[in-house]
Amino acid sequence: MKKIILCLLSLMFIGVLFCGCSSSVKTNEDGTPDLTGSWVEKDGEEKTAYQAACISDDFIEIYWIMNEDGEKSAYLYWAGTYEPPDGARNSFKWESVNDKGRVSLFSSSDDTKEFTYKNGKISYDVTFQGETRRYTIVPSETDYSVYFRGKSVQNTTEQTTEAKVTETTTEVTTTENTYEKNEYYDVVDTASYVNSIGTVYLIHKVLAKKNVSAEATLIAYAPDGSVIGKSSDDIVLTVGQYNYFEYSFNSDISNASIQAHVQTESDEYSAIDRKAVEMVQYNRNDDHLYVTLKQTADTVTDFARFKLLYYKNGKIVGSESGYIDIYAENLNGKDSTDVVDIGVYGEDFDKVEYIYEP
């Protein structure tokens, strides 16, 4: 059973590097601070859930630590670059670039994150549902290097040494069997938001590896073991293309435990054109989003859907879907077009991603 603290959403651990961590800030020969080692949220180890980190020479990883009855579980929150400015002393900042190959069900999907080091402490912001909290971590006597995994396969393949090629080959041939990463899809982006009536929505964007239908369910448990929410979604996967699971909860699940189940079955649509309708353009006019669709195949299945993801500053902030034969009833043959009219009152987005689901 996985723990969710919904400032965090993320995939599984991948990597080839490990770091050695110590309990205090050292000083290099040139007088600059050496931040390599283990770090922990101030007074965090007294809590049931807290953040801890491990820093290597050029990489930082931050974990959500769940501590129950002395048993610790770690879930990745951030994996990114560590590169202090030249001549850094007692106070400096650096911008960490997210290793997107490591983004997971519990982690941040931000492209970059700013860290501040000052007088033996590291601070950074965590934003969730529009609210931001400042976290401060300090050197730790606990060795959190046991959770360190380093750069993802995606990044290490850019290196050309013989050793790296050998390591990444092993990673590529290993198939994980988790909700987040399995032989059918990989979760590649995650988001959460709350609508105007307080419903919490979770979006798990996936990249398909096979043509299958998938049904997933998330069950949320309160600390006392009682169920406080359950949500399911079923999608059709097309190899090499994106789709997303969408879940909704009517209760606050920020401190809930989440159990995930996923089932797949043979895809009954394997013989049809899996790109039968494409988006030509979209534009917004006041509270209406107009999406122009074009039929590119001879036929469209009765239950074919268009699906949209709304983005703001590169982050998923909303979604929409509908059956094509209802919203675009004038699609009646190859090369025909029609316009879908969607109400977007109060929505704030700057990009729309279109997904076709047969």
Check pLDDT > 60 for residue 165. no
Report the alpha-carbon distance of residue 16 to residue 264 in Å, rounded.
Answer: 30
User: Which of residues 32 and 70 earns the better pLDDT score?
Assistant: 32
Q: Average pLDDT for residues 215-238, to the nearest whole number?
A: 89
Give the model confidence (pLDDT) of 14-42 as tens digits: 222 334 444 567 888 777 888 999 999 98
User: Which of residues 162 and 356 earns the better pLDDT score?
Assistant: 356
Give the tokens for residue 129.
Answer: 């549902």
User: Which of residues 76 and 113 earns the better pLDDT score?
Assistant: 113
Count Cβ atoms below 10 Å from residue 75 Cβ, excluding itself: 23
User: Which of residues 90 and 230 earns the better pLDDT score?
Assistant: 230
For the chain, the straight-line distance linking the first and the last C-alpha, in angstroms and rounded, comes to 32
Give the model confidence (pLDDT) of 333-355 as tens digits: 999 999 999 999 888 999 999 99
Give the tokens for residue 340.
Answer: 């879908």
In percent, the amount of the chain with pLDDT more than 90 equals 45
Check pLDDT > 70 for residue 160. no
Q: What is the dihedral of CA 208, 211, 212, 213, to 10 degrees?
A: 70
Using pLDDT thresholds of 50, 70 and 90, give the confidence band for residue 129: low
Note every long-range contact of 155-161, with CB atoms under 8 Å and residues 24 or more positions apart, other chains counting.
Answer: 155/99, 155/101, 156/16
Give the model confidence (pLDDT) of 167-223 as tens digits: 323 233 345 688 888 999 999 999 988 877 888 899 999 999 999 999 999 998 887
Q: What is the pTM of this model?
A: 0.54
> According to the per-residue pLDDT averaged within each range, which of 36-45, 119-128, 286-295 is highest?
286-295
Contact 229, 219 (CB under 8 A): yes
Residue ranges and CATH numbers for the domains of the chain are 2-156 (no CATH), 185-266 (2.60.40.3230), 277-357 (2.60.40)
CA distance readout (Å), 82 to 98, 99, 358: 10, 11, 43
Contact 9, 187 (CB under 8 A): no
Q: What is the 3-state secondary structure (H, E, C) of 146-196?
A: HHCCCCCHHHHCCCCCHHHHHHHHHHHHCCCCCCCECCCEEEEEEEEEECC
Using pLDDT thresholds of 50, 70 and 90, give the confidence band for residue 130: low
Q: What is the per-residue burial (b if ≥16 Cβ within 10 Å, else e) of 256-282?
A: bbbebebebeebebeebbbebbebeeb
Q: What is the 3-state secondary structure (H, E, C) of 215-235?
A: EEEEEEECCCCCEEEEEEEEE
Q: What is the dihedral of CA 320, 324, 329, 330, to 10 degrees?
A: 100
Using pLDDT thresholds of 50, 70 and 90, give the confidence band for residue 147: confident
Report the alpha-carbon distance of residue 120 to residue 133 in Å, rounded.
Answer: 20
